[in-house]
């Protein structure tokens, strides 16, 4: 363990950090005028995103000065995920920024800790409902300190699924094909607006299936939480050789174990992979 710190200590540090950041963004929305901007001309970002990101990354740097950080707002360099020798923190200060800006409660702080490309600690904190999901590798997953498990769904037709859509709308055809296949072969769709919470909801049984293309900061922490809750985590497409699967965000599929293979087949066929 890096810097002679146990995984349990890392998890406790991560949870405390996520909770503090959650209080910051909650206070910012409830007490101050919301300030928004756009990055890449289409993607909404708020002043609170940047404030929370700077708070989280600054605190990590102070505690672990030799670790690397991959964060959505201030250090979004995806090549960080390919450099495996130094411990890596993966941070999303506000997952669900559009929800945040519109006053919706489905907003989360997501922080993951990885060693050699393997995520070993994950915390997803939703400040508005006051829910904290956490997992340490091989120790199980919890919601507000209570153990959680996947839904146990066995049939896609009786399964509730979630997915999301990108800010840019110039290549929606493959997504629409997948959505059309899933909506016809599953119970129904939920569009929550936060990938981290989608995955945590699979972990605790509120959803049965989640799939999407996302960035590491959106899913790294929640993926471990789902895995530790007994869900099957993987991809319906291929992971490039040598790239850590824990951090590869294209064609993610996370679900109750019994429906994972049939849903993977549905998504592969709809994507033209088979």
Task: Report how far apart, in Å, the C-alpha atoms of 157 and of each of 59, 149, 184, 215, 266 are.
Answer: 45, 20, 8, 29, 12
Spatial separation of the C-alpha atoms in residues 10 and 1, rounded to whole Å? 10
Spatial separation of the C-alpha atoms in residues 121 and 104, rounded to whole Å? 27
Tokens for 53, please give them.
């990101």
Task: Report how far apart, in Å, the C-alpha atoms of 119 and of each of 123, 168, 207 are.
Answer: 11, 28, 23
What is the DSSP pairing of strand 188-190 with strand 160-162? Answer: parallel
Task: Report how far apart, in Å, the C-alpha atoms of 212 and of each of 18, 172, 178, 267 are.
Answer: 24, 12, 10, 10
Question: Does residue 267 carry a pLDDT above 60?
Answer: yes
Q: Which residues are annotated as a binding site?
A: 72, 92, 94-95, 218
CATH class held by domain 2-147: alpha beta
Q: Which residues are annotated as a binding site for Mg(2+)?
A: 72, 92, 94-95, 218
pTM of the model: 0.94
Of the given ranges (15-29, 62-76, 103-117), which has the lowest mean pLDDT?
62-76
The domain limits of the chain are 2-147, 156-271
Tokens for 242, please give them.
């040598």
Query: pLDDT tens across 144-200, in order?
Result: 999 999 999 999 999 999 999 987 777 889 999 999 999 999 999 999 999 999 999
- Which fold would CATH assign to domain 156-271? D-Maltodextrin-Binding Protein; domain 2 (3.40.190)
How buried is 111 (Cβ within 10 angstroms: 0-12 exposed, 13-18 middle, 19+ buried)? buried
DSSP, collapsed to helix, strand or coil, labels residue 100 as helix
Query: pLDDT tens across 114-155, in order?
Result: 999 999 999 999 999 999 999 999 999 999 999 999 999 999
The beta strands (E) that lie in 62-153 are given as 68-71, 88-95, 108-115, 118-126, 131-136, 141-143, 146-147
């Amino acid at each position: 363990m890096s810097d002679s710190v146990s995984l349990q200590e890392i998890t406790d540090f991560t949870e405390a950090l996520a909770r503090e950041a959650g209080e910051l963004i909650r206070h910012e929305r409830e007490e101050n005028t919301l300030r928004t901007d756009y990055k890449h001309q289409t993607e909404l970002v708020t002043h609170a995103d940047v404030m929370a990101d700077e708070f989280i990354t600054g605190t990590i740097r102070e505690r672990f000065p030799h670790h690397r950080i991959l964060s959505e707002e201030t250090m979004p360099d995806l090549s960080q995920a390919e450099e495996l020798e130094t411990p890596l923190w993966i941070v999303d200060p506000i997952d669900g920024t559009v929800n945040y800006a519109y006053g919706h409660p489905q907003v989360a702080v997501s922080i993951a800790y990885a060693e050699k490309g393997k995520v070993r600690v994950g915390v997803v904190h939703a400040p508005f409902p006051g829910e904290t999901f956490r997992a340490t590798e091989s120790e199980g997953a919890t919601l507000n300190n209570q153990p959680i498990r996947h839904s146990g769904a066995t049939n896609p037709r009786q399964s509730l699924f979630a997915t999301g859509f990108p800010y840019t709308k110039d290549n929606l055809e493959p997504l629409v094909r997948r959505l059309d296949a899933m909506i016809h072969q599953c119970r129904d769709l939920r569009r929550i607006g936060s990938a981290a919470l989608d995955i945590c909801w699979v972990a605790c049984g509120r959803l049965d299936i989640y799939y999407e293309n996302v960035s590491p900061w959106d899913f790294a922490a929640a993926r471990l939480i789902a895995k530790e809750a007994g869900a099957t985590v993987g991809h319906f497409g291929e992971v490039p050789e040598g790239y850590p699967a824990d951090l590869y965000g294209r064609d993610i599929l996370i679900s109750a174990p019994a429906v994972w293979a049939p849903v993977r087949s549905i998504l592969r066929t709809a994507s033209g992979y088979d």
